[in-house]
Structure 1
Amino acid sequence: MTFMAAPTTVVVDGGYELAEGGRWIDGRYVYVDILTGGLYELRDGDGPAASRQLARLDVPLGAVAPVRDEPDVWIAAAGTGVALLTADGALEWLDRPEDRTPVPSRMNDGVADPAGRFWAGSMAYDGTRGAGSLYRTDTDGTVVRVLDGLTIANGPAFSADGTTLYLADSAEGTILRCRVDPVSGDLSEGPEIFVRLGGDEGSPDGMTVDTEGRLWVAMWGAAAIRRYHPDGRLLHTLEVPAPHPTSVCLHPTDHRLYVTTARHGVRHPTSASGAVLTVPVPVGGTAARAWGGRH
């Protein structure tokens, strides 16, 4: 394992309580502030403080993905379920499965897979163990519970061919790996433990897969980003100037890593906490996939 030393730039100053879910979509970096329900974009080439608010919901907003062929429409992991979010900020609920859970819960991070399905996790507000789930929203709008018994389901990320799903359970310190049938979306194998982390290593949060098939992981509480080989070996650790990095996203053409961070739980936050950071890295990523529904 080696440390990657690279200068970090604060692109958007701290101020977000829990920035998360950063994705590259149509030449812009899109991210959320979960607890305030805010959706934001940063256009490629914009300078600091140039982010623009796209929507503000009255429920927590965990993550979004674009809807194929519908500009400015998003599928969102929001509140207690999954909804379509239009440009005017209206929500069209597909399902609210977390309304039917025994403890108050909310949706968390989510991502679309290469086949156009949307996957999103959930968690209890009080962190009740085993209360979280992973959901898959198919292209017909059906929301299916794929896994339960999780605690804080976070950072779903897919291999380029869509056959491997990585899922973090932040509270348990584990990264799971599942084999996915790319046609049906069913789990054909797993979940298996890909990485198990000790308490002093931080908690795995948002994740992404680079163009070389390596997994990047934001390490909440450790002020670090980790890069793993598909066989589970830790390849690199990148230190960042914020204790709680929450998501990672690789620019699809420039070799830049974008990192969201949180002020939540930070006793003495700086401008790098609750911010968007960029770091030069030696590899690129891919643009976010779109949800393929509503044709």
Structure 2
Amino acid sequence: MSPTSTSTASTTGILLALAGQAGGALRWDPQAACWRWPDPQGGQLYAWPQHDGKAAGARLLENAGVIACCRSGRILLGQGKRLGMVELIPAGQLGRPLQAQVLATIDAAEARTVISDGCTDRHGNFVFGTANTGADQRPIGSFYQYSTRHGLRRLALPVVVTARSIAFSVDGTRMYFADAARGGIMQCRYDAERAKVGEIREFAQAPERGAATVDSAGMLWSVQDGGVVQYGVDGQLRRRIALEQEQPSGMAFGGVDTRQLLLLGVRGGLYGLPPALAEELAPGVADTPFDDGPAAVADSQRRRQGD
């Protein structure tokens, strides 16, 4: 394929699991060797073990729309206006619905905003954005970084109606983001340690702006227009894959050597790509687990005592 050409394919995805009414947050959990996603309407957190045909659900006391896997094995949740953490119940054990430990309340004075998208950066901080759920649909959503070490820090990015398409370059120095309601996919320089951004500019024009991820070749993948599309590092469209069964809402790389690209449909279907198509793609980049380890917690406690 030449640098300027676009490859287009329509595929009947391989249905791997079916569970709930899915949102856009699909994640590969390398510690548990399973795929995880929340049902933002049904109060479930699903897990599908590799090479197993059935997804298992854990009940949540509050719906979650965004998740991240943690270094400790716990799960970080975006639940409405709050970030929370849950300890998973071992497989095979019955238990009560999972209640999250609240870590932070986001924009408490503004009732219209909720967490709408997020992922970890390459340093294990959680970066996320909010959406305006009010009828006015004014751009009042913001972007934030959360870490155990530094707490909640707002990123100096333009306000949006609905934050979406958050992803990071392979080296972690570039952040991608978008407003799902308007505009294109944006990019900026990103300093994880200082939670600073700069050189904000458009990366690619896009008719839709859904969930996003980056592969090991530095290509940005975006959910849009009934499938997923791939952009080169220059923002040019390189590949389009349409999923015939249902509209995708999320995607993630994972599995052995992060070589699988799975798609999550709006009706809860989890799909793999046919082998011939999957083999053409570069591997993904593994998510960095959210850093909730003892060192990060101890550092956070020292900072609080010093305040």
User: Secondary structure in 1 aligned to 2:233?
Assistant: coil
Pick one of 250, 257, 263 that aligns with 2:261: 257
User: Residues 120-154 of structure 1: CA distance to partner in whole angstroms, max 9, x if unpaired?
Assistant: 11112236131211111023251122135111111
| Structure 1 residue 38: Cα displacement | 2.0
1:161 corresponds to which residue?
A: 171
Q: Which residue of 2 aligns with 1:209?
A: 214
SS class of match (1:162): coil
Contact 1:36/1:57 (<8 A) preserved: no
Cα shift at 1:249: 0.8
- Residue 269 of structure 1 is matched in structure 2 by none
Q: Which position in structure 1 is the counterpart of 2:269?
A: 275
State the 4+ residue runs in structure 1 displaced beyond 6 angstroms.
Answer: none
C-alpha displacement of 1:183: 3.2
* Alignment: residue pair count: 271
State which drifts further: 74-83 or 226-235. Answer: 74-83
Larger Rg belongs to:
2
Note closer, same or farther for the CA distance 1:145–1:176 as it changes in structure 2 (3 Å cut): same
The answer to whether residue 238 in structure 2 is matched with residue 239 in structure 1 is no
Distance in 1 of aligned mates of 2:183 and 2:263: 20
Tell me the TM-score normalised to structure 2 length.
0.81
1:122-161 maps to which residues of 2 (within 5 A)?
122-126=130-134, 128-140=137-149, 142-146=151-155, 147=157, 149-161=159-171
Aligned: 1:30 with 2:26? no
User: How much does 1:243 deviate?
Assistant: 5.2
- Quote the residue 1:77 is aligned against: 78
1:266 matched residue in structure 2 = none
Kindly provide the amino acid, as one letter, of the partner of residue 116 in structure 1: G
Give the alignment's Cα RMSD to 1 decimal: 2.0
Q: Aligned equivalents of 1:91 and 1:251: distance in 2?
A: 26
Please state how far the C-alpha of 1:155 moved relative to its aligned partner: 3.0
Question: 3-state SS of the aligned residue for 2:164?
Answer: strand
Who is 1:120 aligned against? 128
CA shift in 2, pair 1:210/1:51, >3 Å: same
Which structure's residues are more often strand, by fraction? 1
Q: Distance in 2 between matches of 1:191 and 1:81?
A: 27
CA–CA separation in structure 2 for the residues paired with 1:104 and 1:255: 39
Q: CA deviation at 1:100?
A: 1.9
- Cα deviation, residue 6, structure 1: 4.2
SS in 2 for 1:236: strand
1:42 partnered with 2:48: yes
Distance 1:10 1:229 in 2: 28
Tell me the equivalent position of 1:292.
Answer: 291
* Structure 1 letter corresponding to 2:247: H
Q: Tell me if structure 2 keeps the 8 A contact 1:23–1:287.
A: no
Give the percent of matched residue pairs that are identical in Structure 1 and Structure 2: 22
Go from structure 1 to structure 2 and tell me whether the alpha carbon gap of 1:56 and 1:141 turns closer, same or farther (over 3 Å shift).
farther
1:192 aligns with 2:201: yes
- Normalising to structure 1: TM-score of the pair? 0.84
| Conservation of the 8 A alpha-carbon contact between 2:23 and 2:65 | no
AA at the equivalent of 1:135: Y
